[in-house]
Amino acid sequence: MSVENHSGFLPCEYKILVKPDEVKERAGDIYIPPQIQEKERREQIFGTLIAVGGCAFEDWKPPIPKPGDRVMVARYAGVSHKGLDDQWYCIMYDKDIAAMVDETVKKDLSETDQPDMAGDGAYASLRAQ
């Protein structure tokens, strides 16, 4: 899937440009203050790869992420900036990508907000695959 870059940012060398998933401004009827929205934006780990620098992924083995792929990145990785299109983007190193995301797996992981510390709960079906 091809994605157009309207951010005004072109990553250099080993950097990549990721558009994090949107942060909610409201939860039901409750307004979420800008400070909390900013905190959640910095903590976001899922997003879409928008652009890659010239040397990014050159030492990776397949599968290699490409623009348009859904990715999971390290928490607090990179630097967030607002693009020319008023959307938030994060510029980070290619090594900050932890995984390429299969949407069915993301859905399974988001069904619970409790981590599976014991190893016998929500993530057991993913380990069995």
Please tell me whether the overall predicted TM-score, pTM, comes out greater than 0.85 for this model: no
Please indicate, yes or no, if residue 82 is contained in any of the structural domains: yes
Per residue in 64-117, pLDDT (tens digit) is: 999 999 999 988 889 989 999 999 999 999 999 999 988 765 455 555 555 555
Burial class (CB in 10 A: 0-12, 13-18, 19+), 35: exposed
State the alpha helices, DSSP H only, in the chain. Answer: 34-43, 103-110, 124-128
CATH of the domain at 34: 2.30.33.40
Please indicate, yes or no, if residue 122 is contained in any of the structural domains: no
Interior angle at CA 89, CA 25 and CA 76, nearest 5: 80
Please indicate, yes or no, if residue 78 is contained in any of the structural domains: yes
Per residue in 15-49, pLDDT (tens digit) is: 999 998 887 777 778 888 888 888 887 777 899 99
Show the domain range for 74: 15-101
Number of domains in the chain: 1
Tell me which residue has tokens 């990715």: 71
Please indicate, yes or no, if residue 38 is contained in any of the structural domains: yes
